[in-house]
Chains A and B, each alone.
Chain A
Amino acid sequence: MSEFKPGLNMSVNFEEVFESKLAKNDIIEPKDWMPENYRKHLIRQISQHAHSEVVGMLPEGNWITRAPSLRAKLVLLAKVQDEGGHGLYLYTAAESLGISRDEMLEALHTGKAKYSSIFNYPTLTWADIGAIGWLVDGAAIMNQVMLQRTSYGPYARAMVRICKEESFHQRQGYEVMTKLSFGTSEQKEMAQDALNRWWYPTLMMFGPPDIESPNSDNALKWRIKRETNDQLRQRFVNQTIPQIEYLGLTCPDKSLKWNEAKKGYDFSEPNWEEFKNVIHGKGPCNKERLSSRNKSHKEGEWVRAAAMEFARKQNETA
C-alpha cells in the first residue's frame, strides 16, 4: 500500500488537463501544471514586454526637461511614470513563472534580453513625443487589447490594468500632433517629419510577417496570442490613416491605397532588413539605451543595499 498523499493523484494526465483548459478558453494560473515550453515562451515574452516599458521611458524622458509648457511637462511626467508602473506589473507577472527580478534585469543589462526595437530610435524633436504617444502607444494598445484575453492569468490581469492607462497616452500624443499640425508651417513640417520617421518603425512593432515569424505558431496554439502579426498590423494601418488625414499630414508610404475588396488599405512592408539590424544591436540608439539602463542600475546599488540593511535592523529590533 502506498502512502495516501492528498493532492497527488498519479492517474491525472496533466498535459490533457492543460490542453482541455485551453480548449475551453479557461485561464492558466501560476500553480497550474503547464508544459515547460509554454512557461519559457511566456517568460521570454512577458520579460521582453517589461523591458520595453522600462527602456521606453528613456526616449520620452529625454524631453521632460524641455517640454514646451508646464502642462506638457506634467502630462509627460505622468505618462513616463505610468510606463515605469507597467514595467513593474509585467515583471511580477513574469516572476510568477519562476524567474527572479534580478535574473531578468541581468539579461536586460547584458544585452541578452530583447526589448521593442522601436526604442532604439532617437527622439529628435518635440513632435517625436507626439508621434510616440499617438503611433507607438497606439500600436502597443492594439497588441495589448488582444493580450487582455491571453491564456495566462497574471499576464492578462496586468494587461487589463495597462490598457486602462494607455488610452490617455495615445490621446495626449495625438493632442501634441494636433497642436503642431494646426500651428505654424514650421510646426506642421516638424509633425510631418516625425510621422515620416516613426511610421515604418511603428509597423515593425507588430513583428515579422506571419510567414517568417518564428514564435507565432506556439503563441497562437497556446492562446498566448489570439491574432497574428499581420492581422494586427493591418488593423493598425486601417485605424491610423484617417487620423493622419485629419491632421492634414501625408503618410510616407507612397503606394498606400484603399482596397475595397478587403475593406482595408494596401500598404508597403517596412524594411525588414533594418528591423533585424536594430534587433541585433545596430540601431541608432541601442548602445545609449543599454548604457543608460546600466548606469542607473549601478547608481541605485547603494540605495538597494541601504534599504536592505535598514529592513534587516528593523527586523532585529522588532
Chain B
Amino acid sequence: MADSQGPMWEVFVQKKAGQPFVHCGNLHAYDKEMALQNARDLYTRRSEGMALWVVLSSNIVSSSPEDIGSFFEPSNDKIFRHPTFYQIPDGVGHM
C-alpha cells in the first residue's frame, strides 16, 4: 500500500548455515539497504539468525485460498509418490 513509510518488504531469516531461510515477518523501508538494516534491527536482536533475505512484498506471487481445491488436488490421487505405496520383501532389510 502506498504510504509515507515506504513500501512493504518481507523478511526471511536463516538461523545458521545449512538451514532454510524462513519467513519471519515484514517491515517498511524506502530502499534495499534500509530494508536489510531494518530487518537486522527488528528481527535479529537476539541472534535469531546469521543471514537475511528481504523481498519487496509486491514482488511475491501467492496462491489464493479459494483455489485450494483445484490447485492442490492433483497430488491427492498419486499415492505412488509416497514410499509407503511400495512393498519391500522381508529379508531385504532397511531401504
Contacts and interface: CB of A to CB of B under 8 A. Distances in A.
Interface stretch (A84-92, A180-188, A230-238, A287-295): A84-92
Given A95-B1, A308-B6, A310-B30, A8 B42 contact: no
B65 A95 contact: no
Interface in B7-42: 8, 24-28, 30-31, 34, 41-42
A29 B67 CA distance: 14
Contacts of A31: 62, 64-65
B26 A92 contact: yes
Interface of B: 1-6, 8, 24-28, 30-31, 34, 41-42, 45-46, 62, 64-67, 69-71
Interface string A76-114: 000001100100110010010000111000000000000
B70 A7 contact: yes
A9 B5 contact: no
A89 B26 CA distance: 8
A26 to B, nearest CB: 11
24 contacts: A6-B70, A7-B66, A7-B70, A8-B66, A33-B65, A81-B45, A82-B45, A85-B45, A89-B42, A92-B28, A101-B4, A102-B3, A102-B4, A102-B5, A161-B24, A161-B25, A304-B4, A304-B30, A307-B6, A307-B30, A307-B34, A308-B4, A308-B30, A311-B6
A70 interface: no
A89 B25 contact: yes
Nearest to B42: A85
A175 B62 CA distance: 47
B22 to A, nearest CB: 12
Contacts of A92: 8, 25-28
A12 B70 CA distance: 13
A304 B3 CA distance: 11
The interface residues of chain B, by DSSP majority, are classed as: mixed
Given A31-B65, A81-B45, A92-B26, 5 more contacts: A7-B70, A88-B27, A92-B27, A308-B4, A310-B30
Nearest to A28: B65
B5 A88 contact: no
Nearest to A297: B4
Nearest to A29: B65
Nearest to A309: B30
Contacts of B6: 304, 307-308, 311
A148 B55 CA distance: 26
Among A6, A8, A311, max chain B CB count under 10 A is at A311
B3 A100 contact: yes
Nearest to B5: A101
A7 B73 CA distance: 13
B23 to A, nearest CB: 10
A101 B64 contact: no
Interface in A1-56: 6-9, 12, 29, 31-33
B66 A101 contact: no
A33 B26 CA distance: 22
A31 B57 CA distance: 14
A171 interface: no
Contacts of B28: 92, 101
A296 interface: no
Contacts of A65: none
B66 A9 contact: yes
Nearest to B62: A31
